[in-house]
Amino acid sequence: MLSVLTWIIIVTLINGLLAFAGLIFFNSKKHRHLILLISFTTGTLIGGAFFHFIPEAIELGLFKLTSLTIIGFILFLFLEKFLYWHHCHDGKCDEHPFTYLLLYGDAMHNFIDGLIIASSFLISVSFGIITSLLILLHELPQEISDIGVLIYGGLSKKKALIYNFLAQLTSVIGGILGYFFLSLKDYSIFLLPIAAGGFLYISISDLIPEIFKEKNLGKLVINLIFIILGLSLLIISKLLIG
């Protein structure tokens, strides 16, 4: 019979391997479809912030919750400006800063997922399996769309897959730390609104302007529908997880 730690490591590793889902489902040659993935990801980022991260940290109180969300927003603003200076100071920007912002935010998100997986298995193996399945089901479409955003932002397909995999592996770190240092869960709650602020910054500052570059009304409506689909996915997953 598998130990609780073994279960945690196996599940978080599977979560990490979801980063390669884009390799199976995504065809980088079909660039005309990238904007749809951008739209879908925008919806999932906004939905993740408002329906998952912020509600999970509501016990912090309105003032701390709002303050940390704003701090996350500003932190990602300064981080993007630093990345822009680092990658684009000569006026040419082959890799857009928002690709790295997405990776940093996703790494923080996956670390928290690892803590959640660990805590659920510490309650019971059956509860851990159910919780992990819901997390994996939520992550699959997110990882496919993330690959599209990273490639759209200038990364090669190979680079996008490797970086996305490394960001996804932080769930393993979160799972192991959550198992050995259960008290860390008390601190992880402060990361939630910061991650929410970061995701809101990426969607509002970087992705939505890309979507509204589309001048064709019909295509713009389709993009908006994909934003709603991304939002709906996060709402449904929230209702399922509770």
Q: Is the pLDDT of residue 238 over 70?
A: yes
Q: How confident is the model at residue 186 (pLDDT cuts 50, 70, 90)?
A: low
pLDDT at 141: 62
pLDDT at 26: 58
pLDDT at 187: 66
Q: Which residues have C-beta within 8 Å of that of residue 211, sequence separation ≥ 6? A: 35, 38, 39, 42, 220, 223, 227
Phi, psi of 189 (to 5 degrees): -60, -30
Question: Could you tell me which of 2, 48, 6 has the C-alpha nearest to residue 172?
Answer: 6
Q: Which amino acid makes up residue 60?
A: L
Residue with tokens 């979160």: 174
- In this prediction the pTM is 0.67
Q: How confident is the model at residue 62 (pLDDT cuts 50, 70, 90)?
A: very high
List pLDDT tens digits, range 20-61: 876 665 554 455 566 787 788 788 888 888 987 788 789 999
Q: Which residues have C-beta within 8 Å of that of residue 71, sequence separation ≥ 6? A: 193, 194, 197
In angstroms, the CA 238 to CA 242 distance is 6
The residue with greater pLDDT, 67 or 20, is 67
pLDDT at 242: 60
User: Percentage of residues in the chain with pLDDT exceeding 90?
Assistant: 15
pLDDT at 28: 47
List pLDDT tens digits, range 165-183: 898 899 999 899 888 876 5
User: Percentage of residues in the chain with pLDDT exceeding 70?
Assistant: 81
Q: Is the pLDDT of residue 63 over 90?
A: yes
Neighbours of 181 (CB within 10 A): 12
Neighbours of 62 (CB within 10 A): 8
Mean local confidence (pLDDT), 184-213: 79
Q: How confident is the model at residue 226 (pLDDT cuts 50, 70, 90)?
A: very high
Q: How confident is the model at residue 134 (pLDDT cuts 50, 70, 90)?
A: low
pLDDT at 138: 61
